[in-house]
Structure 1
Amino acid sequence: MLKFVKGPLESIEGVSIYPIISLLIFFIFFTALFWWVFTAKKEYINKVSKLPLEIEEDETKFSAETTN
């Protein structure tokens, strides 16, 4: 299977830079995400974690008000 991918790519000049670039993007993204997770304020995390529940409560209140 690798022969079908590797063969045509070997004929392209400078193609070896793309795996390096993709690895750098991957590493930088997850390093930044890791840094953000550990430096995020606890109040913000608690507020965001409760958002789905608040929306659900608002929807149930709205549906209860419209049925009455």
Structure 2
Amino acid sequence: MSKTSVELLAKDLNHAGGVYCPNPLADMKLWNSHPKVYLDVAHTGQAKCPYCGTVYQLKDGEHFHGH
């Protein structure tokens, strides 16, 4: 499985401050990956997928201003 790190901009996060994995930003296709999971990135600035180990993190200097 993947051990990828994906750098995100604040605009890449959804309204709640998260992303889903698998994610096209990690060059993943839904049909050849694991079940879709929600990862909360805004809370700590990064989140790791429990299935594939991909780490999604906010780029330095990016800040999420959610709803």
Between Structure 1 and Structure 2, the one with more strand by share is 2
Q: Normalising by the residue count of structure 1, what TM-score does the alignment of the two structures yield?
A: 0.16
Q: Normalising by the residue count of structure 2, what TM-score does the alignment of the two structures yield?
A: 0.16
Give the greater-gyration-radius structure (CA). Answer: 1
Structure of greater relative contact order (alpha carbons < 8 Å, 6+ residues apart): 2
